Amino acid sequence: MAGHDLLGFTCQQMCAFMVERGLPAYRGRQLFQALHRRLVETPEAALELPRALRTGLAAESDLRPLSLMEVFEAADGTRRYLFTVRDGHAIETVWIPDGGRITLCLSSQAGCPMRCAFCATATLGLQRNLTAGEIVAQVLYVLRDAVHRWQQPRPAGVNLVLMGMGEPLLNYDHVLHALRVLADPEGLHIVPRRVTLSTVGIVPRIIALGREPDRPRLAVSLTAATDELRARLMPVNLTYPLEALREACLMFPRQPGERITFEYVLLDGVNDADEQARALLRWLAPLRAREAAKVNLIPHNPVPGLPFQPSPPERVLRFQALLRAKGLPTYLRRPRGRDIFAACGMLAATSRPSA
């Protein structure tokens, strides 16, 4: 990494950085606001800073950790950004418009070590953890691009989902630090309740996350409610089986009205039978009793080379109806950006715009 990871600094850290250089602390606030509010790309463009500081910063720090390789736009307005980081690994960020708001789907690792059988990212294996600056840079880059290249107004609101490449709880410190930077009131001020972190279920880290003072919302990728099937689809289940996972979810402190989201990818003939909906209801029973759970059903997005197919629409609706009949809030995730490989589980650094 070339120089300081300045995009991974909070406003306070940026001020301390200036003081260390013998400069007044307010220079740190000026730079932080230029980067995070005005979205300047290089320190040279932060004209409120003295010239010597601007050139010094440009030489010794890394304000452009991502290089854009390609951007694909889907018919529904979803955009998939394919970036490379400094050492050449590819990562992806997805821009998902939603009325006046947008949702940004961020990567937390280059590749992923979790080996879920139905996911395209799993085929890459883990390349490395992203730095806090590389996570923050994804947000800054796509917001800047929307304004400059696509001439769109700044979105009225931004939601973040850590549902891109990687397992965020295996890059715990960098992810949480990046979220603190993004929540900084001197900058983008994207508060934790606007952020959802999705995990395969790394139990000790779920427990740790619950103890954080400012934490994102929690989503758990479940996809099967019996140990035998879940271990086949998601090898993490061999380390953290369903009972331990449920225990961690039951302990997870929630705000009033807050529910944990359980994501369930529907795979044709694998986990979409009535019996499996009943197993899901049984497994969720103690969480349902506390109104602590909701379910997102995700239609499987086919991945070339993987032996899974999406459940037919009538199966999806029947599965949803069985859960709803028991009072479980159950939503269907509309696949976004499938035609550009941007949808869930399709992120594998492909540069093909479509199949």
Please select the residue that binds ligand SAH; options are 143, 163, 179, 281, rule is CB under 6 A.
Answer: 163
* 198 labeled part of a ligand binding site: yes
Cβ–Cβ under 8 Å, residues 236 and 269: no
Binding to ligand SAH by residue 237, rule CB under 6 A?
Answer: no
What radius of gyration do the chain's Cα atoms show? 21
Supply the minimum distance, in Å, between the C-beta of residue 253 and ligand SAH.
20
218: helix, coil or strand?
strand
Residues numbered 295-334 forming contacts with ligand SAH, rule: CB under 6 A:
298, 300-301, 303
Supply the minimum distance, in Å, between the C-beta of residue 198 and ligand SAH.
4
Lookup result for tokens 């440009």: 58
* 223 labeled part of a ligand binding site: yes
Please select the residue that binds ligand SAH; options are 103, 127, 196, 221, rule is CB under 6 A.
Answer: 221
From 11, 15, 249, 344, active-site residue: 344
Binding to ligand SAH by residue 167, rule CB under 6 A?
Answer: yes
Phi and psi, residue 74, nearest 5°: -90, 165
Alpha-carbon span 146 to 143, nearest angstrom: 5
Please give the C-alpha separations between residue 185 and each of 18, 105, 117, 140, in angstroms, as whole numbers: 19, 21, 40, 15
Supply the minimum distance, in Å, between the C-beta of residue 289 and ligand SAH.
24
DSSP letter assigned to residue 267: B
* 112 labeled part of a ligand binding site: yes
Judge whether 344 counts as a catalytic residue. Answer: yes
DSSP letter assigned to residue 88: S
End-to-end CA distance of the chain: 35
In the shown chain, the binding pattern of residues 247 to 276 toward ligand SAH, with x for contact by CB under 6 A and - for none, equals ----------------x-x-----------
Residue with smaller CB distance to ligand SAH, 66 or 200: 200
Alpha-carbon span 311 to 300, nearest angstrom: 7
Judge whether 275 counts as a catalytic residue. Answer: no
Alpha-carbon span 186 to 193, nearest angstrom: 18
Binding to ligand SAH by residue 131, rule CB under 6 A?
Answer: no
* 249 labeled part of a ligand binding site: no
From 11, 92, 105, 134, active-site residue: 92
Cβ–Cβ under 8 Å, residues 257 and 292: no
Alpha-carbon span 343 to 74, nearest angstrom: 10
Residue with smaller CB distance to ligand SAH, 11 or 298: 298
Residue with smaller CB distance to ligand SAH, 40 or 209: 209
Q: Which two tokens stand for residue 265?
A: 């990818």
User: Near ligand SAH by CB under 6 A, which window of 16-24, 96-104, 110-118, 272-280?
Assistant: 110-118
Helix, strand and coil content of the chain, in percent to the nearest 5, comes to 40, 20, 40
Supply the minimum distance, in Å, between the C-beta of residue 67 and ligand SAH.
23
Alpha-carbon span 258 to 247, nearest angstrom: 17
Residue with smaller CB distance to ligand SAH, 18 or 161: 161
Residue with smaller CB distance to ligand SAH, 31 or 293: 293
* 67 labeled part of a ligand binding site: no
Alpha-carbon span 73 to 50, nearest angstrom: 39
Q: Measuring CA to CA, which residue among 257, 343, 270, 334 is closest to residue 297?
A: 334
In the shown chain, the binding pattern of residues 178 to 207 toward ligand SAH, with x for contact by CB under 6 A and - for none, equals --------------------xxx-------
Active site (catalytic) residues: 92, 344
The residues of the shown chain that bind ligand SAH, judged by CB under 6 A, are: 114, 116, 118-119, 163, 167, 198-200, 221, 223, 263, 265, 298, 300-301, 303, 344-345
Annotated binding-site members for [4Fe-4S] cluster: 112, 116, 119
